[in-house]
Structure 1
Amino acid sequence: MTAQVALLEPVEKTEERKNEYGFPKPTLQKAKPYSWGLRNSIQLTIFLVTIGIGIHFFIYFLQASGDATITVSRPAGVEGFLPIGALMGWKLFVLTGIWDPVHPAAMVILGFAGLISLTLRKSFCGWFCPVGTLSEWLWKLGRKVFGRNYRIPVWLDFPLRSLKYLLLGFFVWTIFSMSRLAILAFLRSPYYKMSDVKMLFFFTQMSTTTFVVLAILVLASLVFRNLWCRYLCPYGALTGLLALVSPTRIQRNSDTCIECKLCSEVCPYHLPVDSKDRIISPECNGCMDCTLVCPGGRNTLELKTIGIRKKFWSTAKLGIVIIVVYVGLVYTATIAGHWKSSVSEQEFRMRLQEINAPQYTHPRG
């Protein structure tokens, strides 16, 4: 039985009313579109685990900064926030077969995101990514506080959505224009060996400008749905492009559709689910919210993998597969020795003492 169920109840037919996006509100049935379900539970779990990893790393950093014995290990999961280095690592691996030993978990996590996107749409973003989860919580909070969210005009929405692809293009062009030796030098540089510490400093030694920019993003995210994910996240741009070839997509049966438009209303990316037979947009993050509010149920709207007849994805199936794939990849990487960093406690402590030296600045400035 599906773990997340839309609560449906009949209502009396009245004159046509319009919602905040200009769609007619359904008069035949009424759904509860923002109920808590399995996906939200998985998001919360991953988010709390991420916070725990951050605290774990901070404790490791504090212990390594002093002379006392280090009682905790350097958590590998923190490397999930090093996607640029991971992309460099994957290029080096393709060219040489060498797996980056400095931040190997970064490659595993990026590989997981890519694999899921190629097979199950951009569900990494909709189910797993802690930044995506925070972005979703913010616009839902804004909806509760202000009673609604706002939508950026179409003429401005398209160029803004291009920003994340431009950012991704810049990073990809920079990395793929680097030679094998240049990438190897970067991945072995003092800066990259301590890049997780540099990332920690981004939050603990935040400049006024950085704080103001983040505050603006947070406030804007209360008003606009998934602001960061929709317009600025290059990670999401990459997973979205990979998802274009995914055989899994939302499919609509126009014969049983009653055109209530609930699916389009609830879609966090404003996709026209109600007017398309299949959704192949790189913006679809596989959240399945549209299928859960559909009055027609699975006979009308479903997440289905092309080529597998009479098979559809429920939230339970999709959530379990995503978690199993991640755990399986982490376990395999651990057994193969490609999860923990090769930087020892002694080296980490030594480098931490000289972290402000010139060699620990970014190689490109």
Structure 2
Amino acid sequence: MLTESSCLIIGGGITGLIAAQTLHSRGISVTILDKGRGIGGRLATRRLSHPEYGEGVIDYGAPHFTANGPEFKALVSQWLEQNLIKVWSTGFVSSNGQIEETTYYCGREGNRAIAKHLAQNLNVHTNTQVTKVVWEANYWQAHTATDQIFTGEYLLLTPPVPQSLELLKSLNLALPQKLTEVAYHPCIAVLTLLEAESHIPPPGGLWLNGNPLTWINCNHQKGISPNAYGVTLHASPEYSHSHWKSDDSSIIDDLINSASPWLGSRVITHQIHRWRYSRAHKVYGEPFLALTQPGPLILAGDGFLGSNLEGAVLSGLAAADYLWWENISSN
């Protein structure tokens, strides 16, 4: 028997988590399915360990976020009061020495801690790759790579738009042209553990010119890696695109060599991660897309309003509100 007012959410990034929290608070049964090992999408934190040089805690996805509109500012204020996040900086230095004046926030214990906080009390399934969605007998079925089937009256898709479109392909839906035009830049990240403190200027982040790096930050100065010197390197979209299929070792050498003036110390160990859908450079332009056929279906995420955290959060809030007011509360 299907639980009344149940929603399947595919994608456990910030959009899916915010939507799930909103619906859960209104008494809706929510199930989140995410293909990753950890929740949070680009709110990603990893640990690099060495027996002599300790354990570095490294944010390797979105390094920080800003708050501009009143709705997100209110949420950020709440997170600050909960001691979940902190102000990291009021401006980072660029490679030409200029300093911008913007308030940047980060998770007090790493950005994935934000996602873990939001996932509390939610029904979350990680390592769950959805391969097909089907509308049958007035509810949605999500079929997984391990032959599990999850069901719900409503379906909310929050992955990057190309991945959502792939899931929907077999349904032959009539979709807006501008949805198919949503496009993302890739980003290759290299995580490093250093022998000693880096030369990155305070407060620990530096914008670069994109040849091949656009960003480098010290997680020790950031305050999330107190016991070791973990540094994050982000390649430019151009470099990431042209070297996407290059050998890992050659990419790591390129990025570490480019960062060497600011590292100032020997790299003890390192890892690489490829973000295929790092930042949306062409967005849908509305908070979400709602469809009624073959069943109630909403698409949302950072490809709708913008790939910053604020845009992703606002998309999730709007999608949850629409689902509640236009569907659930009226039934």
Give the TM-score normalised by the residue count of structure 1. Answer: 0.26
Which has more helix, going by share of residues?
A: 1
The structure with more strand, counted as a fraction of residues: 2
Structure with more relative contact order (C-alpha pairs < 8 Å, separation 6 or more): 1
TM-score (norm 2): 0.28
Whichever of the two has the greater Rg, that structure is: 1
